[in-house]
Amino acid sequence: MSGLLSIIFLYFFTRILFIVVSKRYESSRVDINRLVAVIFLVVNILYFTNLIPPIPLAMKNSGAYHSVAKVGDNYVVVSERGRWYESLPFIFPKVLHFRAGESVYAFSAIFAPTDLSTGIIHDWQYFDTVTDKWVSTTKVAFDIHGGRGEGYRIFSKKDNVFSGKWRVDVKTKSGQIIGRIRFNVELGLGSVVLIESSI
């Protein structure tokens, strides 16, 4: 619906443009119309193939932690002191160390406009090296209501994780991905330094 409204708006805008500056506009009218059509098509393809997050939702903050607890208006998280290159999560996912039986927590803050209420899912997945595919293990559903400048904050936990590649897809109930939390799990704490912070 919003796509159709934007096309109608652009149609009337270009008509007004033609009336106001007809000589300058006439020579480039075909190019402008083609450009608008291409942009509209590309944005729709990216949106419906989940390559861009669903508008108007946006993930403001996220991460995987040893624990997450709400304290007053804030959330207190316990994380590991990471290596410098783990600040590039798309290249080097965060490595988390756990003892067998411990839980992993996923936290996300999602911005939504004031008048929007929707459902969000934390979809916990691990990478199966045998099938070479991501396997969904747990889905935790939330209802969010827009309007918080800091984002609507939610967290979920996964018990009894095992070593390997993990991710949590933060998505709408219809399956559109808002963001992704990537991390690797290694069993055994060793000399890991845990840090408590407020977010």
Residue 69 is assigned to a structural domain of this protein? yes
DSSP summary character for residue 114: T
CATH number of the domain where residue 120 is located = 2.60.40.10
Same domain as 116, residue 38: no
- Residues 70, 40 share a domain: no
What pLDDT was estimated at residue 76? 95
pLDDT on residue 64: 94
Q: Do 91 and 41 have their domain in common? A: no
Residues 77 and 168 in one domain: yes
Based on the structure, what is the number of domains in the chain? 2
Please tell me the distance from the alpha carbon of residue 133 to that of residue 127, in angstroms, as a whole number: 6
Among 94, 89, 90, 91, smallest CA distance to 105 is for 94
Domain range enclosing 67: 58-198
Indicate whether 35 and 123 sit together in one domain.
no
Instruction: Show pLDDT as tens, one digit a residue, over the chain (199 residues).
Output: 456 666 677 677 777 766 766 666 666 667 777 787 788 788 777 766 656 655 567 788 899 999 999 998 889 999 987 666 655 656 678 889 888 888 999 999 888 776 677 889 999 999 999 999 999 999 999 988 766 666 688 999 999 899 999 999 999 888 888 999 999 999 876 667 888 988 8
Total-model pTM: 0.70
Q: Does 53 reside within a domain?
A: no
Residue 39, by phi and psi: left (phi above 0), alpha (psi -120 to 50) or beta?
alpha
* Same domain? 74 vs 34: no
